[in-house]
C-alpha cells in the first residue's frame, strides 16, 4: 500500500484532487492544458484557455437528475438572483442567473 501511494504521488498530480474543474475538464483558476477550445476564441489552433481569472466552480444545474454535474468556472461566487461572471464551455454556452443561494 505504501509503495502504491508513493508511486501515485510521484507519477500523478495530487493537486487534481482539490482543484476545481468545469464539466468539460477545463481547470478553473489556472492556465489550462487545452482540454477544450476557448469559446471566446474559436480560431485559435492551440486549445489553450487562460482561466486564472475564474478560480471557482459553480454547478449550473444542481437539482437536475440527469445533468447535475454540469459546471462552469466563475470569477466570484454569485448570490441568488445575480448573473454569474463565468467562462462558458460547450455544455454551458452562456452565464446563468443563479436560482439558489451560495451564502453559508
Asked if residue 56 belongs to a domain, the reply is yes
pTM over 0.75: no
48-52 — which CB contacts under 8 Å span 24+ positions?
49/87, 51/26, 51/27, 51/87
3-state secondary structure of 73: strand
Q: What pLDDT does 73 receive?
A: 92
Quote the number of domains for the chain: 1
* Residue 71 phi, psi (nearest 5): -150, 160
Q: What pLDDT does 54 receive?
A: 92
Per-residue pLDDT of the chain (104 residues; tens, 9 = 90+): 888 888 877 887 777 777 888 888 888 988 866 555 545 555 544 456 788 999 999 888 777 777 788 889 999 988 888 888 988 888 888 887 776 666 66
Q: Give residue-wise pLDDT tens across range 22-35.
A: 888 888 988 866 55
Q: What pLDDT does 102 receive?
A: 65
Asked if residue 7 belongs to a domain, the reply is no
Question: Which residues span the domain enclosing 23?
Answer: 19-104
Asked if residue 11 belongs to a domain, the reply is no
Q: What pLDDT does 67 receive?
A: 79
Asked if residue 3 belongs to a domain, the reply is no
Asked if residue 14 belongs to a domain, the reply is no
Amino acid at each position: 500500500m505504501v509503495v502504491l501511494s508513493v508511486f501515485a504521488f510521484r507519477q500523478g498530480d495530487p493537486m487534481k484532487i482539490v482543484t476545481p474543474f468545469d464539466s468539460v475538464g477545463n481547470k478553473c483558476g489556472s492556465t489550462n492544458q487545452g482540454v477544450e477550445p476557448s469559446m471566446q476564441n474559436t480560431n485559435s489552433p492551440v486549445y489553450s484557455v487562460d482561466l486564472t481569472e475564474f478560480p471557482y466552480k459553480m454547478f449550473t444545474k444542481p437539482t437536475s437528475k440527469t445533468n447535475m454535474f454540469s459546471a462552469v468556472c466563475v470569477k466570484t461566487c454569485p448570490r441568488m438572483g445575480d448573473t454569474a461572471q463565468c467562462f462558458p464551455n460547450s455544455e454551458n454556452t452562456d452565464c446563468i442567473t443563479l436560482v439558489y443561494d451560495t451564502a453559508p
